Chain A
Amino acid sequence: DIQMTQSPSSLSASVGDRVTISCRASQSLTNFLNWYQEKPGKAPKILIYAASSLQSGVPSRFSGSGSGTDFTLTINSLQPEDFATYYCQQTYSIPYTFGQGTKLEIK
């Protein structure tokens, strides 16, 4: 199985900050890496697919980059609604695997 390691596990930031979340895979994914946002009591929501493609309807302050084994989710100018948990997921090979999640909290 491909192991996905996210860092940090938790992060405190303020409205208006720029934050980055990293995701490292145990083997190359080319660009088969997705990012999801999950809020309490809600289903996860796709933000970024194929490493860097912004899902329709997702604010442009979200961006993704990377290829191979190292990927980054960046959120520019944090908004109150962005405080949530973020997961990366590889869909390069079965079983698809998720990172352990990064909880973004208000400072």
Chain B
Amino acid sequence: EVQLVQSGAEVKKPGESLRISCKASGYTFTNYWISWVRQMPGKGLEWMGRIDPSDSYTNYSPSFRGHVSISVDKSFTTAYLQWSSLEASDTAIYFCARQFCLSPNCRPSWSDPWGQGTLVTVSS
């Protein structure tokens, strides 16, 4: 079974650093990009960026570039989302998702499956 299992909820203070994880299993990890998506309380879905696990190449949404960092550890088939200095506005649920596709150039692609989400609360 293809699964993405995310790390547990976090409570942090403004200015602190954080790394959350997304462990993939049931497929060849390096064959598909991983995306990260934010959902602020009571709001919609926002695409943050993606990473190619085969070479760690990343793309970021301009809204998130410079504030978060996406990485992978192939040996652990795990993707990460990291902040060096959290802000209260980072309070949200964060989802990882595999960018699945059927064509050799992986276009079009779609997010499937999704991790269960990680709630990050940033409060003083």
- Chain A residues packing against B (C-beta within 8 Å): 1, 31-32, 34, 36, 38, 43-46, 49-50, 55, 87, 89, 91-92, 94-101
* Closest Cβ neighbor of A43 among chain B residues: B114
Q: Could you jot down 29 A-B contacts, CB within 8 Å? A: A1-B61, A32-B108, A34-B108, A34-B110, A34-B111, A36-B111, A43-B113, A43-B114, A43-B115, A43-B117, A44-B45, A45-B114, A46-B111, A46-B112, A49-B112, A50-B110, A55-B112, A89-B47, A91-B99, A91-B110, A92-B108, A94-B61, A95-B49, A95-B59, A95-B63, A96-B35, A96-B50, A101-B44, A101-B45
> Is B30 interfacial (CB 8 A cutoff)?
no
A62 CB, nearest partner CB in chain B, Å: 14
> Is B46 interfacial (CB 8 A cutoff)?
yes
Q: How far is the CA of A38 from the CA of B116 in the complex (A)?
A: 12
Contact B107 A32 (CB under 8 A): yes
Are A97 and B47 also in contact (CB < 8 A) when A1-B62, A43-B115, A43-B117 are?
Answer: yes
B55 CB, nearest partner CB in chain A, Å: 16
Q: How far is the CA of A53 from the CA of B46 in the complex (A)?
A: 23
Q: How far is the CA of A57 from the CA of B50 in the complex (A)?
A: 26
Give the contact-size bracket for chain B.
20 to 34
Partner of A95, one of B61, B111, B114, B116: B61
> Is B84 interfacial (CB 8 A cutoff)?
no
Q: How far is the CA of A99 from the CA of B47 in the complex (A)?
A: 11
Contact B59 A89 (CB under 8 A): no
3 tightest CB-CB pairs across the interface, nearest first?
A95-B61, A43-B114, A49-B110
